[in-house]
Amino acid sequence: MPRRRSDRQILEAVRRASELAAVSGHHRLRRGIHGLAIVVSTAPLFGLFGTVIGIVNSFPGCGCDKSTLLGAITKLLGEAFVPSALGLLIAITAWWIRTCLTDRVEALALEAAGAADELVRQLRARQWV
């Protein structure tokens, strides 16, 4: 009878260790994904900031005729929106990568949990408990 108790304790220890390893690996993988979330949320703001600076700088002094001034302002205003476009491009790309990686990490977590359960089932099937 004492052997049965120690076998159950061993099986429980194996189950806990495998679950702990799976959770630990999951947290390590998710840590890098949080950096992408920061890029997703801040890239558009940096782009907007660049656009505001570009708009402010697109109004030169009025020391020339009307058509030249209008052409200069139009050109500079067009260039002012480039930072916003780049910020959005970076944010959308980072969001897509983050989504793909999050899906993969979750799939790995489910696979690790399934492997832990399968290990316990295999040990039970071999008459450990």
Tell me the per-residue pLDDT of 23-36, one tens digit each, with 9 for 90 and over.
887 788 888 888 88
Give me the number of domains the chain comprises.
Answer: 1
Q: Is the pTM of this model over 0.85?
A: no
The residue segments making up the domain with residue 77 are: 2-125
| Tens digits of residue pLDDT in 102-129 | 999 888 888 888 887 888 788 777 765 4
- Identify the CA nearest to 75 among candidates 91, 59, 63, 89: 59
Rg (CA), the chain: 29
- Is 40 within 8 Å of 91 (Cβ atoms)? yes
Write down the residue that tokens 């260039």 correspond to: 79
What is each CA distance from 39 to 42, 44, 126, in whole angstroms? 5, 9, 50
